[in-house]
Amino acid sequence: MNISEAGYVLIKRFEGLRCFAYQCTAGVWTIGYGHTSGVKKGDTITKEKADKLLEKDLQYTMSVVKSYVTVPISQGMFDALCSFVFNIGAGAFGRSTLLRLLNQGQYDNAAKEFDRWIYAGGKVLNGLRNRRAMERAMFQLDKM
């Protein structure tokens, strides 16, 4: 399974395109559509380079979802999980209650866990709240 166009659009929408390096809410230097590897202050890129970095980053993200999830999932679930992992990282996903519940086959309870991941720096961020609501809706769209 690979991320669908809907999943790709979701990630691009919430990450947004920035062709100059900036520090995200967690203080990590970021560029393009949420790319962080090797980014430093003052870096710039083109939209074309940002698209290529996103494709590369999504290959890794998809591999994480495929290797961590041990139960059958639908395309919508896969897309939602890719967006989620892209945003929080593989380590946090691997330790998450969402993943544990999902791998126990508790799909509905796993879906509820998206709502817990709306904080950055101890504060609720509306952007994260909106993203998680979209991810949860996509996850629940075509249930197993």
79-106 per-position pLDDT tens digit:
999 999 999 999 999 999 999 999 999 9
The ranges of the chain with pLDDT < 70 are 144
5 is catalytic: no
135 counts as catalytic: no
Residues 58/86, Cβ–Cβ less than 8 Å: yes
User: Which CATH architecture best describes the domain 5-141?
Assistant: Orthogonal Bundle (1.10)
- Cα–Cα distance between 11 and 5 in angstroms, integer? 10
pTM over cut 0.75: yes
Residue 129: the pLDDT is 97
Which pLDDT value is given to residue 144? 63
Q: Which of 5, 24, 48, 113 is catalytic?
A: 24
From 15, 82, 113, 135, the catalytic residue: 15
Residue ranges covered by each domain of the chain = 5-141
Contact between 42 and 22 (Cβ < 8 Å):
no
